[in-house]
Structure 1
Amino acid sequence: MDIDVLNMFLVAGGTLLVPILAFVTSFLLWPAALINIYYWYWRRALGMQVKYSSYGNYQFCYTSRGKPGNKPSVLMLHGFSAHKDMWLSVVKFLPKNLHLVCVDMPGHEGTTRSPLDDYSISGQVKRIHQFVESIGLNKKPFHLVGTSMGGNVAGVYAAQYPTDISSLTLICPAGLDYPNDSTFLKHLKGLEKSSPDDQRIPLIPSTATEMQEMLRLCSFVRFKIPQQVLQGLVDVRIPHNEFYRRLFLALVDEKSRHSLHENMGKIVAPTQIIWGKQDQVLDVSGTEVLAGSIRGCQVEILENCGHSVVMERPRKSAKLMTDFLSSLQSTENNKKHD
């Protein structure tokens, strides 16, 4: 083979090999960095822009796509220890003509974390209202979506600020007095009887093994996740675990434990409930509680789905929300023509 041709192949091979080796090395040594790159890529691909807003000295971080229009804007509130990017899997399947806003909840990710802040549900509701006002989202009533802890906040928000809300979607919300205890709630009751040294909270993992256990608790679907990715997920969380523990204790305190239950009777907005039938964190019997209190609410129970509805069934979640909003829009249009 001609030496120049050989050199060309070597150079071409080397050009391809360098980024491949860099990726493999990064995957093995810095999995947390790759996870951040993953979110960055999907935000760009889906047109979600990272933005900041302020209310006094308090800063909120959020992503958004589109602009307010004829249809209600959609505000999405994530769950405990998550962040705004958890909604990306659902955003992928939502219509592009919707104005979407996903905010980091108080103390999470890019939103201000202060040791003086009130992380009870009522405290978080006040902060989310400040966020809504800071970006002028409530100039027109908007659709509010919340999952787990975010569902608790969303439900209480709808009860306390009814004129802000056009409609509501609650996904496996916390804050109820559930007829049946979930696996997780049974574990919590066991913790109350154990010594402080044994009180490991399953939702606050500090090792790859504990991370895997948490995912099994939260999901019915068994995701095959490489060890390096599990470690990366833990590495991202560990610096925040002290805050998560403080937040968790605020959420299970008597002030917040049944916040949604205490406020659900005040919800007047059209409401949609979505729940995974195999939820081990918050039992699906919560649907009975909400359906018995919120007039005319629509209940959707997903088979073969756990607590992480947004991650396990993103396409279905998006379709249910889109259909719900479309049905409300049709009803509104019919009223105008009558």
Structure 2
Amino acid sequence: MSSVVHFPFVFAKANILLASGELVTVFVEACLAWFCSIHVKMLDYLFCCLELLQVVFRKPANIWRLCIALPVLLLMGLAMPRLIYFLLFQVVFLFVMSYLKPSWIMEFMNWLNLQRNGYAVKYQTVGDFTYCYAERGRPSQNVPSILFLHGLSASKEMWFPMVTAIPRDRHVILLDMPGHGNSSRRLDYNYSFVNQASRVAQFVITTGLGKKPFHLVGISMGGGVAVAFAATHPRDVTKLSLLCPAGFAEWMKGDYMQDAKKGLLVTDSSWMPINTDEQRKAIPYLFHGAGLKIPKLYSWLAFEIMSMKRDIHGKVSSDLEADVNNKVLHKHITKVEAPTQVLWGKYDRLVHPSGAEVVKAALPASQVHIVENCGHTISYDRPFRAMKLILEFLDSL
């Protein structure tokens, strides 16, 4: 399946849908997959069919769902030439809407993911700052809550491929980091690792999450913020999971940064791709997969959404780079008291895997897992493997 695209844009995530038991959602996303396949040469449609078969082989109990969903998909495939004209209006409508506001497509997909996984979107305003987060479950006296911090230019939705593997009785919070998602995005704030950690601390206090120590999980930029938070608020963190954390000097050793400096990638001053073609070239630095193919529609959509937030993400990137140059996290990592786990993609081309050695040197008791067949964005490349390791770590003594 390495040649098939595994991104949030791909609507046909049948393995997750079938596991949820929501047949209506299976049908809706299968239709959307076919809808998009007109433009990406059937990749999404084939992906949906293959995933359905894979799920049944992994879990025979899903056979009855397959019996209902697969014929629908097959009929859609057989009838496609005739239905193209029937749905031409919808296709035009989709592109008109995406042209006017491309984020609507992603927002609709995110809404489906939230509904499917039982999350409620909530807002918390403190002074002039508003936090947006998704929450599922309630705090428990016996099991720590889990707080997830995402990476640069992403949002809380990047965790969906992973968090579907979390038992429903766990209390989970997915936070839109400061300057990202639907949280406040103000250019007059400082978004350094330490300042973002302070904002997270404010969120923890305001929502009452800090009444009991919780498990903190951070990826990339979120991993760096998690380090700063755990160092400055040791009583709040029972355990710490870092997924290829950014912020150490090794960040600059990654292929992306090196190629950008050589001019192989054309970026702006904040290291962001300057156009759709460069965005398309940059995406493989985030994900791992031999023969990885990126649909042009996805590249265009990703760039359009990114462009709308270029100013704020550029500000965040600049503030983070200042911390990297001053080795701020190198000082904070030695102050972390919580048991720490590090997961790093073996083929991470954005943040060099040698960063794991920095964490291990500062925290000798930490667990380090180099994840095979995985790049930087672990939550998409190896979501179930990563979540399995995190849950095992959380449940260990």
How far apart, in 1, do the equivalents of 2:394 and 2:114 lie? Answer: 24
Within the alignment, does 1:231 sit opposite 2:300 as a pair? Answer: yes
CA distance in 2, matches of 1:179, 1:80: 13
State the TM-score, normalizing by the size of structure 2. Answer: 0.72
Give matches, 1:114-129, under 5 Å: 114-129=186-201
Corresponding residue number in structure 1 for 2:277: 209
- 2:131 is matched with which residue: 60, 71, 80? 60
CA displacement at 1:167 relative to structure 2: 0.3
Question: Residue in 2 aligned with 1:317?
Answer: 386
Matches of 2:216 and 2:203 in 1, distance apart? 13
**Whole-angstrom distance in 1 between the partners of 2:181 and 2:233:** 26
Aligned to 1:50: 121
> What is the CA-CA distance between 1:220 and the residue it aligns to?
1.4
What amino acid does structure 2 have at the position aligned with 1:150? G
Contact 2:131 2:182 in 1 (8 A): yes
Q: Distance in 1 between matches of 2:86 and 2:367?
A: 50
Return the alpha-carbon distance in structure 1 between the equivalents of residues 251 and 219 of structure 2. 19
Distance 1:258 1:99 in 2: 34
CA contact (8 A) 1:175 1:257 kept: no
**Counterpart of 1:292 in 2: which secondary structure?**
helix
Matches within 5 A, 1:124-203: 124-178=196-250, 181-187=253-259, 200=268
User: What secondary structure sits across from 1:216 in the alignment?
Assistant: helix
State the 1:268 CA deviation.
Answer: 1.0
Q: Look up the match of 2:162.
A: 90
Structure-2 change in CA distance of 1:58 and 1:320 (3 Å): same
One-letter code aligned to 1:138: G
Instruction: Please give the TM-score of this superposition, normalised by the length of structure 1.
Output: 0.84
Deviation at 1:34, TM superposition (A): 2.1
1:232 aligned counterpart, secondary structure: helix
CA contact (8 A) 2:228 2:332 kept: yes
Instruction: Give the 4+ runs in structure 1 shifted more than 6 A.
Output: 16-19
Verify the 8 A CA contact 2:345 2:372 in the aligned structure 1.
Answer: yes
Deviations 1:228-279 (A, max 9, x none): 2221121111111111112111111147653321111111101110000111
Distance, in Å, in 2 between the alignment partners of 1:286 and 1:132 is 28
Distance in 1 separating the partners of 2:97 and 2:136: 30
- In 2, Cα distance between the equivalents of 1:178 and 1:120? 17
Specify every segment of 5 or more residues in structure 2 that has no aligned partner in the other structure, as ranges. Answer: 1-82
Cα 1:308/1:19, change in 2 over 3 Å: farther
- Check the 8 A contact 2:134/2:174 in 1, yes or no: yes
- Residue 13 of structure 1 is matched in structure 2 by none
For the 8 Å contact 2:187–2:315, the answer to whether it is kept is: no
Decide whether aligned partners of structure 1 residues 166 and 279 sit closer, same or farther in structure 2, where only a CA change above 3 A counts: same
Change in Cα spacing, 1:271 to 1:234, as seen in structure 2 (3 Å) is same
Letter in 2 for 1:219: F
Q: C-alpha root-mean-square deviation of aligned residues, in Å?
A: 2.3
> Conserved in 1, the CA contact under 8 Å of 2:179 and 2:186?
yes
Deviations, residues 204-227 of structure 1 (Å, cap 9, x unaligned): 234332222221111112553321
